[in-house]
Amino acid sequence: MLKTPLHLPYPTLTRRRLLTIGAGSALVAVTGLRPAEAVLKLDVTQGNVQPMPIALPDFAGGTGPDSDVARNVTGIITNNLRRSGLFAPIDPAAYIERISNPDVAPKFPDWRAINAQALVTGRVTRQGDGRLRAEFRLWDVFAGQQQAGQQYFTTPDNWRRIGHIISDAIYERLTGEKGYFDSRIVFVDESGPKDRRVKRLAIMDQDGANVRYLTRGEDLVLTPRFSPSTQEITYMSFGQGDPRVYLLNIETNQREIVGNFPGMTFSPRFSPDGQRVIMSLQQGSNSNLFTMDLRSRNTTRLTQSPAIDTAPSYSPDGTRICFESDRGGSQQIYVMPSTGGNAQRISFGEGSYSTPVWSPRGDAIAFTKQGGGKFAIGIMRTDGSGERILTEGFHNEGPTFAPNGRVIMFFRDGGGGPSLFSVDITGRNEQRIPTPSFASDPAWSPLLS
């Protein structure tokens, strides 16, 4: 485990590095049982998913603090799966069998009796060298088979990440899709009176835990965005003079200005390979899109429009970008090659469209839509077809996708101050994300691997 200065918002431990502290490995099936061949599976391709009843008894632990860690890891897994909207954790008070030894096969009739379809058992123990060993088994209750088993070794301070990584493993095994729990959110923390609001960059786990501040609030900050490596963010700041686009290295806490352009730069976002930043540059009353190669610092102009082109977002393969522009008389969404060229308008509904962002799955673009006195968060296919509104209200804005493209986070301000919310791409399972103060401009990181 690397030692990091206290001011750093997060240890710079990636999933790969975490697991290489001690090799993660498959946990063999309990004697007499074999891993099942995907007998139990949750179909998430349908719009109306019935949550799967799942039992998550507290992981076994050692003594004292280790027992608390084991119970806390179980709590993180339970909360993650419940918040996904795809699983319905069963009240522990209903449990008939008490799991004390996860190496022994469960009494499946006891779990069938309470209608548990899946069961997760596990253990967290301290090794002689001080590391934690965390292990879990996922059981198909009705088939009476082990579906998955894995063990991890890490330092004790990574116990929350172990909970998220196990959550992702369970989610992937039961849905067939990657999870999104071992990820983070960078956002703008807002505190103080409305006319003297202090805005700081902050970062936290996707469940709202472990909030750390990246800036102190001296300058106004907006639109933070993660790099693919998750170790850097780019954002816009009103420091001395015109607003500028910055890079901030989360590992070193060093920041630098992206380029030195006359006029304002804003709406920055990394390319999928992390080698470029795309942004808007104001020139008079217009703004156009530019990219900067982060190695050579050479810039390339992408649009030549006498309009306001802004909020660009790359497709996952980096070949196209979507952006908002008022070149047609109102704010609409356009798509064009990432090297510039002919831009095609794809939004044609009533009202105006803004803040488009491309799904990590590549098949959809999320947006903010304003009209009729309301702000809505919606998605459409990348050709503009299939528009669906997921949620609407007085002021919703700024969608950002989870790493698996299944969940969208955004901020809502009902008048008192902004807060973060998430909603499934089916429009179900809207939830408020806890933050210490008001919060806006969320950006979801890739999985930490």
The DSSP result for 280-315, as a single string, is EEEETTEEEEEEEETTT--EEE----SSBEEEEEE-
pLDDT of residue 25: 62
Helices 65-83 + 159-175 axis angle, to 10: 40
Whether the Cβ atoms of residue 409 and residue 424 lie closer than 8 Å to each other: no
Cα–Cα distance measured from residue 266 to residue 413, given in angstroms and rounded to the nearest whole number: 22
Strand order in the sheet with 286-293: 265-270, 276-283, 286-293, 299-301
Report the candidate in 115, 384, 200 with the shortest Cα–Cα distance to residue 367: 384
pLDDT of residue 65: 77
Report the candidate in 324, 269, 322, 311 with the shortest Cα–Cα distance to residue 294: 269
Give this prediction's pTM: 0.90
Domains in the chain, CATH or no CATH each: 52-175 (3.40.50.10070), 183-447 (2.120.10.30)
Amino acid at 433: I
Burial of 233 (0-12, 13-18, 19+ CB in 10 A): buried
**pLDDT one digit per residue (tens) for the chain, 449 residues:** 322 222 223 333 444 445 444 445 666 665 545 555 546 777 776 666 789 999 999 999 877 778 899 999 999 999 999 999 999 999 999 999 999 899 999 999 999 999 999 999 999 999 889 899 999 999 999 999 999 999 999 999 999 999 999 999 999 999 999 999 999 999 999 999 888 889 999 999 999 999 999 998 888 899 999 999 888 999 998 876 778 889 999 888 899 988 777 778 889 999 999 999 999 998 888 999 999 999 999 999 999 989 999 999 999 999 999 999 999 999 999 999 999 999 999 999 999 999 999 999 999 999 999 998 889 999 999 999 999 999 998 899 999 999 999 999 999 998 889 999 999 999 999 999 999 999 999 999 999 97
DSSP H or E stretch at residue 67:
helix 65-83
Q: Report the DSSP pairing between strands 87-89 and 52-55.
A: parallel
Contacts for 147 with CB less than 8 Å, ≥ 6 apart: 35, 36, 38, 39, 40, 118, 138, 139, 140, 173, 174
Cα–Cα distance measured from residue 174 to residue 350, given in angstroms and rounded to the nearest whole number: 40
pLDDT of residue 22: 42
Question: Which residues partner with 270 through β-bridges?
Answer: 277
Report how far apart, in Å, the C-alpha atoms of 35 and of each of 24, 32, 108, 190, 381 are: 18, 10, 15, 49, 38
What is the CB neighbour count within 10 angstroms for residue 16?
9
